[in-house]
Amino acid sequence: MKRLPHFILCLLLLIPVYRLQAQTQEIKVTKLTPNVWVHTSYSTYQGVLVPSHGLVVSTKEGAVLLDTGWGNEPTEQLLTWVKTNLKQPVKVCVPTHWHDDKIGGMGAVQQQGIPVMTSELTAILAARHGKGTPDVTFATDTIFTVGGQRFEVYFPGGGHTADNVVVYLPQQKILFAGCFIKDARSKNLGNITDADLESWPGAIRKVQQRFPKAELVVPSHGPWGDQSLLSHTLELLQEHKK
């Protein structure tokens, strides 16, 4: 009987260790093309370690980040990775919607003097939810070029959130879809607390029509794939209605 309290104590001691490991999980950076990488940071949701992807795009003038890391600490790790491995400055960061997995490291980015650019709606929602204020905003869509690399930022309508945008890299035929699109293994739509379920199917069809040449589609949570990820998300939306 004397061993039981000691055993329970050991279990209790293990719990904070697991949480600490989850919170300090280092970012992962995976190369897609000679100048595009996926950056992956992590957070725990209901006791499960969840990955979140963004992109790092290297250009002749500097790097561009699509989404911050999931919080300031992983974003600082990401900025250190860029400095160490690419040896170039980050010119701009473009979060694709207002949730923490996309914009949660805005403070770390701005602290290093890097401008954060979002849609006007994302800026409004970020301010409303206490996420901070971006430096530059655009109305709905925008196209910009850095170091010869073209970025097409497109707002198809509400989906995962009211403000979600996707970003297309035409030279590489890569579509960064963020949380707007689910990976092929997903069995459901995930977090739909702020979703626009009525608009989402039509918004996906708009993306399919606008970027038919996209060969690689990168979602936020799970493996990347091809355009079948868009069709899969449509199927999940149809199943959700039943």
| Terminal C-alpha separation, the chain | 53
Catalytic option among 53, 99, 221, 232: 99
Neighbours of 33 (CB within 10 A): 14
How far are the Cα atoms of 138, 202, 221 from residue 84, in angstroms, in the given order?
Answer: 31, 42, 26
Strand ranges (E), 13-148: 28-33, 36-45, 48-58, 63-66, 90-94, 117-119, 136-138, 142-146
Measured from the Cβ of residue 56, the count of other Cβ atoms closer than 10 Å reads 24
Q: Of 100, 191, 194, 196, which residue is the catalytic one?
A: 191
Dmax over CA atoms of the chain, in Å, equals: 71
* Burial class of residue 191, CB neighbours in 10 A (0-12, 13-18, 19+): middle
Catalytic status, residue 191: yes
Q: Is 130 helix (H, G, I), strand (E, B) or coil?
A: coil
Catalytic-role residue among 97, 164, 183, 232: 97
Which entry of 160, 164, 221, 232 is annotated as an active-site residue?
A: 160
**Phi, psi at residue 123, to the nearest 5°?**
-60, -40
Q: Classify 240 in phi/psi space as left (phi over 0), alpha (psi -120 to 50) or beta.
A: alpha
Q: Which residues pair with 175 in a beta bridge?
A: 168, 217
> Is 101 a catalytic site residue?
yes
Residues forming the active site: 97, 99, 101, 160, 191
